[in-house]
Amino acid sequence: MSKTSGNFNRTQYRLGFWLLLAPIVLWLSLLIILPHIDMVLVSLRERIASREYAFSFGNYTAFFTEPLYWNTFVRTAVMSIVATVMTLIIAFPVSFYIAKVLTGRPRIALFILCLLPFWVSELVRTYGWMILLRETGLISGALQWFGLADQPVEMLYNDVAIMVGLIYTSMLFMVVPLVTTLDSLDNSLIEAGYDLGGSSFHVMRSIVIPHAMPGIMSGCIVVFMLTLGNYLTPTLLGGKSSLWFTEQIYTQFITRFNWEQGAAFGILLLILSSLIVWLGLKITRQSFTRVMS
């Protein structure tokens, strides 16, 4: 090849590079970075007259002085953590069963069965729980039929209903990473643990769980974030008593048209979720890029 054609290839190559770089930069700056910067700016201003704004921390002080906002925030965070832990506890034995106890076809079948409900919209799944839990619903009917209750029982619109819905919705995001990491654990390591005299509990604690840690962590992070940012499940299953923080954001933006306050709430929720994700990664010494991919 002559030198000129080499050079030509090079410039063509550089042009190609810029053409590849431009769209991603446009996407990230116009749809992710600038909107969030703008949201910070909006949250730091106060309307003094029509179309006139002044810099102020008022929206943030309102959050700390108004107990309703503050309580909703803490409540959302605590319930999200509880839901994440419960999802992990429920999903772990099932994932272990799929990854380690079963083999061949039943294993693939059960894994697909696990994924199945999540091809259907979250709305439909929540609707299913509403039909089950409501006063005229199936569980109430079953309790009466068995004589365990003598009148219809309302099981909707309380914290337990919200919790059931959140755990149900999050299950997939826990089971998939758990099955994947447990699958990569060599059975002979477990056998060796027993051969060396370890009890089931001991083998679980010092061999299986350390190996599954990356899966546990990425599952927990995704579930926590989805739960914290969930709007549908708490609203539909919790009704008026749900007090979820995303509802506050929605109310400020859409119902009250107080965008400044809503933006401040959005930033606070974003900070909370980033903080907990960061803490989770720090505690288990995982890297963000690895957990996400």
Q: Binding to other proteins (CB under 8 A): which residues in 220-259?
A: 225, 228-232, 235-236, 246, 249-250, 253-254, 259
Name 98's Cβ contacts closer than 8 Å, sequence gap at least 6.
Answer: 107, 110, 111, 114, 175, 179
Specify the residue, 92 or 216, whose C-beta has the smaller distance to other proteins.
92
Q: How far is the CB of 258 from other proteins (least distance, A)?
A: 12
Of these, 155, 176, 179, 190, which contacts other proteins (CB under 8 A)?
190
156 contacts 239 by C-beta, under 8 angstroms: yes
**Residue 15 contacts other proteins per CB under 8 A:** no
CA distances from 215 to 174, 247, 250, 276, 286 (A): 8, 31, 33, 17, 11
Distance CA 105, CA 263 (A): 50
* Phi, psi for 53 (deg, rounded to 5): -130, 155
Of these, 7, 8, 10, 17, which contacts other proteins (CB under 8 A)?
17
Q: How far is the CB of 67 from other proteins (least distance, A)?
A: 23
Q: What is the DSSP letter of 62?
A: H
Of these, 7, 8, 10, 16, which contacts other proteins (CB under 8 A)?
16
Of the candidate spans 17-25, 52-60, 65-73, 209-217, the one that interacts with other proteins by CB under 8 A turns out to be 17-25
Q: How far is the CB of 35 from other proteins (least distance, A)?
A: 4
Instruction: Give the distance, in angstroms, between the CA of residue 97 and the centroid of all CA atoms in the same chain.
Output: 24
> What angle, 0 to 180 degrees and rounded to 10, lies between the N-to-C axes of helices 34-43 and 259-284?
120
Amino acid (1-letter code) at residue 145: W
Q: How far is the CB of 134 from other proteins (least distance, A)?
A: 7
Amino acid (1-letter code) at residue 290: R
48 contacts 38 by C-beta, under 8 angstroms: no
**Residue 263 contacts other proteins per CB under 8 A:** yes
Specify the residue, 56 or 235, whose C-beta has the smaller distance to other proteins.
235
Q: How far is the CB of 65 from other proteins (least distance, A)?
A: 23
Interaction with other proteins in 91-150: which residues (CB under 8 A)? 93-94, 96-97, 100-101, 103, 110, 113-114, 116-117, 119-125, 127-132, 134, 136-138, 141
Distance CA 221, CA 289 (A): 13
**Residue 156 contacts other proteins per CB under 8 A:** no
Q: How far is the CB of 3 from other proteins (least distance, A)?
A: 18
Specify the residue, 38 or 66, whose C-beta has the smaller distance to other proteins.
38
**Residue 161 contacts other proteins per CB under 8 A:** no
Residue 59 burial (C-beta neighbours within 10 Å; 0-12, 13-18, 19+): buried
Interaction with other proteins in 45-84: which residues (CB under 8 A)? none
| Total number of residues that touch other proteins (CB under 8 A) | 86
Dihedral, CA atoms, 104, 110, 115, 119, nearest 10 degrees?
110
**Residue 198 contacts other proteins per CB under 8 A:** no
